[in-house]
Amino acid sequence: MDITRLNPWNWFSREEEQFRNVPVQRGRPQIYGPLWQLHEDIDRMFESVFRGFGLPSLGVSSLLESENSLFLPHVDIASTDKDYTITVEVPGVDEKDVKLELSHDGTLTIRGEKRQEKKHKGRNFYRVERSYGSFRRILSLPEDADQEKIDAAFNNGVLTITCPRQVMEQTPVKRIDVRKAA
């Protein structure tokens, strides 16, 4: 039994690295003093804790998203013995607004933009739950992914990326003799 197959591949390792390395900078003036700074430090602490569990941020900045903010579309990743299937849910996005890039180190970047509908002047909105703006997901492909044969299809707001799996050579187990120390 190959026990390495039980260890799940971390598809989001490079995406997590980027979020960890982005300093949190808020656009509020520093006139609020040390109490406001304590509040911001606690917000940063909670955001990093929730991000570590893969949960969305609960800070004020996530509630006040602007049109140019970054949102994360939902991603499903499945596999069979023959291929990996990555499904990205991007309703309301045109296929021309979605771009895929594959780097030499096996990083697949999915980026795009969900454009906001025409603004309605004179309307008072009581609640807006739809997200608009740019999005980017960064996936680290496993070693057995055949990067030359990746295929992508877009249908009804769902991007489906199929990546065939290559047969990896199994290295035989090498036995090392233990000798008596001199």
Domain CATH number, residue 138: 2.60.40.790
DSSP H helices in 6-88 = 13-21, 34-52, 60-63
The confidence score (pLDDT) of residue 33 equals: 65
Q: How many domains does one find in the chain?
A: 2
The confidence score (pLDDT) of residue 168 equals: 77
CA distance 1 to 4: 9
pLDDT tens digits for the chain (182 residues)?
Answer: 555 555 567 777 777 666 554 444 444 544 556 777 777 778 778 777 766 555 555 544 443 333 344 567 889 999 999 999 999 999 888 899 999 999 998 899 999 988 776 666 667 776 766 767 888 999 999 988 999 999 999 999 999 999 999 987 777 888 888 988 87
Same domain, 46 and 72: no
For 68-106, b where at least 16 C-beta lie within 10 A, e where not — what string? eeeeebebebeeeeebbebebebeebeeeebeeebeeee
41 lies in some domain: yes
Same domain, 40 and 77: no
The confidence score (pLDDT) of residue 175 equals: 87
Contact 146, 161 (CB under 8 A): no
Same domain, 82 and 155: yes
Same domain, 85 and 163: yes
The confidence score (pLDDT) of residue 65 equals: 39
Q: Which of 180, 165, 152 is nearest to 87 (CA)?
A: 152
Task: Tell me the residue range of the domain where 26 lies.
Answer: 8-64
Same domain, 54 and 71: no
153 lies in some domain: yes
